[in-house]
Chain A
Amino acid sequence: MLTALAPELALFALAVLVLLIGSLRRTGRGPAGWLTLAGLVATFALTFAVPEGTSLLNGSFVQDGLSLFATRLFLGSAALSVLASMTLRQAAFSRRSAEYHFAVIVSVLGMSVLASARELILLFVGFELMSIPLFLLTGFLKRDAVAPEAALKFFLVGTASSAVIVYGMSFVYGVTGSTSLAGIPAAMAEGHPLMMLGMAFLLAGLGFKIAAFPFHMWAPDTYQAASTPFVAWLSVAPKAAGFVAIIRLFVEGVGAAALIWMPAVAVLAGMTMVTGNLMAIPQQNIKRLLAYSGIAHIGYMLVGLAALSSSGVAMMLFYLVAYTFGNMGAFLVVQAVAQSEQSEGIDAYRGLAQRSPLLALAMLIFLLSLGGIPFVAGFWAKLYVFWAAIERGMYGLVFLGAIVTVVALYYYLLVARRMYIEAPERPEPVPVPGLLGAAIAVCVIGVVGMGLYPAPWVTLAMRVASTLFS
């Protein structure tokens, strides 16, 4: 029975171990970082031992294709972030290494519970378990000028959206008479107005969590203030968790009744793509630029979701993986440049190609992937979600998406132009710490690998999505 819970139990044990070891030693960085990395990788391997399709507690906790897929995404991205964050120089990260990694592990635990939850209370507890450590991690540099304020903003928005989610859940419970998600499809098909109202609240609350328009305002401030290796992870894993929750609530087993949400999700997708891309253009801070571009990517993923078809959800999952590699990679390059230049402005990238050709090439690959240029992962991701939307006849949305993709290329190439065409202000290369370089290399391999050979990822995503519609 406990095999279904194995990854969660392992994460809990790891969290306690890291905290205990941290309390034992008080000097230097300590082994917390390496222990966390090893534990996350071991848990990643452990997920392959969990038999797919097991469930616990009357089906309120399931390990199906979707939950295992998502859990591996959370674990892998967290491992990359931990690897890169070990190169952070600020004293807080070495002195309080145990606290930092404990929070990361607990947040991953929350995400993995969330991905497996088929019951409202467990879903909500998973959400909070994921979110509360994220507030701490955002404000981890507590003597910094901006980090505590960003953490507070993130906290207020996060708790407000949680309240909206619980309010929505109370309506769903009131109509279905059960906290199990299994009752949702029938109630949705029956179409009680209170049920629709509850689901609308849930969509709004989850919209906050994934930073979709018009609930996106918190993202740029939070990203700008928090430490970059953490932001690399914050910009992908909690978003993926939010999408999994949306799939569980709105798509899984709902069948044709889900189609009434299609216009709402399509409008949300269109607005999110347009807002993210247009707001990204004037940004002079690279982290804010990537934050707005991340909002736009949420919009593209919502296009796949709006199709509300097996292939649409599959392509959204494929997009999530491609976005994880591309976006994390870009943020990790930002970390390398920011640490060397003491600047997060896009002008810091002037002449990077002459100073550090490999780092510039890696950044170019990530930007091209985010922009959707052929032969890197992002191209297939965009092509596939648009394809899924066209199958549903959503030509207008795809047309809009294609236009804003061209807009997006403009601001990605603005950064590329600084790296490749403009002259450097200083001749010496940008030093890249070994561990950060390794994390960047993994992202490059992921982006290029998915770009050259997307087939296995597509097959995997299709298989995971098909179980949701049977």
Chain B
Amino acid sequence: MTGEALAFWGLAVILVGSALAVVLTKNLFHAVLWLALALTGTAGVFLLLDAEFLAAVQLLLYAGGIVTIVVFAIVVTERLVGERISQTSRRIAAGAIVAAGILAAVVSAVMERPLALERPPMESDLTQIIGETVMTRFVLPFELLAVLMLAGLMGAIYFARPDD
């Protein structure tokens, strides 16, 4: 087994295990910590694929930003409600069946017609290329995301502000 394959399977175990822990833990706070591990594992997959920029963004935005916000939300909500909130995952059986079905579908599809394994040639400076693509070919969705953020912020403020 090559080092790459070894790293991949290691990450896979961490990813699947922590993702399962997110939905199965009763303690909401622990679930967030498992989520942070899962998101960090995803960054590891990006690293393995030579996408350093994406890995950094993944760590900063998701493992850093999103997890912090979720922790804040839990703490604030628990103070408002005045009790510990625990996670209840109902219909685990139904979820397991759906997940198993999708897994079977994906695995059988890949077995039937394997995808190309060789990697496309890597450009020298990926970060620069990402920047250029975002400002040229994908400039329209990029700008629209700014409008989306404005709308999202306004919605959040609308719900959060007290009535005057």
Contacts and interface: CB of A to CB of B under 8 A. Distances in A.
Interface in B80-135: 105-106, 108-110, 112-113, 115
B148 A132 contact: yes
B1 interface: no
B9 interface: no
Contact residues of B: prevailing secondary structure: helix
A426 interface: no
Contact of B115 (A57, A106, A194): A194
Contacts of A110: 144, 148
B155 interface: yes
A360 B159 CA distance: 37
B140 A132 contact: no
B72 interface: no
A121 B147 contact: no
B140 A60 contact: yes
A136 B152 CA distance: 9
Given A106-B151, A197-B106, A136 B140 contact: no
A125 B113 contact: no
Interface residues of B, number: 26
Nearest to A142: B159
A106 B147 CA distance: 8
Interface string B125-163: 000000000000111110011011011101100110001
A103 interface: yes
A129 B143 CA distance: 12
Contacts of B151: 102-103, 106, 129, 132-133, 136
Contacts of B164: 95
Nearest to A126: B144
Contact of A109 (B112, B147, B159): B147
B137 A61 contact: no
A106 B153 CA distance: 13
Interface string A181-217: 0000000000011101100000000000000000000
A121 B158 contact: no
Contact of B158 (A113, A128, A142, A175): A142
Interface in A6-33: 12, 15, 19
A252 interface: no
**Interface residue tally on A, bucketed by range:** 35 or more
B139 A57 contact: yes
A12 B147 contact: yes
Nearest to A123: B141
Given A125-B144, A125-B148, A194-B115, A135 B137 contact: no
B124 to A, nearest CB: 21
Contacts of A60: 137, 140
A65 B155 CA distance: 33
A64 interface: no
B107 to A, nearest CB: 11
Contacts of A132: 148, 151-152, 155
A156 B87 CA distance: 16
Contacts of A128: 148
Given A57-B140, A125-B141, A197-B106, A139 B147 contact: no
A142 B160 CA distance: 10
A113 B154 contact: no
Contact of A193 (B113, B138, B141): B113
Contact of A57 (B105, B112, B113, B137): B137
Given A102-B154, A103-B151, A139 B159 contact: yes
Most buried by A among B109, B112, B151: B151
B158 A96 contact: yes
Given A125-B145, A128-B148, A194-B109, A133 B140 contact: no
A424 B17 CA distance: 65
A458 B90 CA distance: 49
Given A58-B137, A193-B109, A194-B115, A113 B155 contact: no
A174 B163 CA distance: 48
Contacts of B105: 197
B109 A122 contact: no
A95 B162 CA distance: 13
Contacts of A143: 163
Interface string A113-145: 100000001100110110011011001001100
5 contacts: A57-B137, A57-B140, A125-B141, A194-B109, A197-B106
Given A129-B151, A194-B109, 17 more contacts: A12-B147, A57-B140, A58-B137, A60-B137, A61-B140, A102-B151, A106-B150, A109-B147, A121-B138, A122-B138, A132-B152, A132-B155, A136-B151, A139-B159, A175-B115, A194-B113, A194-B115
Interface of A: 12, 15, 19, 56-58, 60-61, 95-96, 99, 102-103, 106, 109-110, 113, 121-122, 125-126, 128-129, 132-133, 135-136, 139, 142-143, 148, 174-175, 192-194, 196-197
Which 3 A-B residue pairings sit nearest by Cβ, starting from the closest? A193-B109, A136-B155, A125-B141
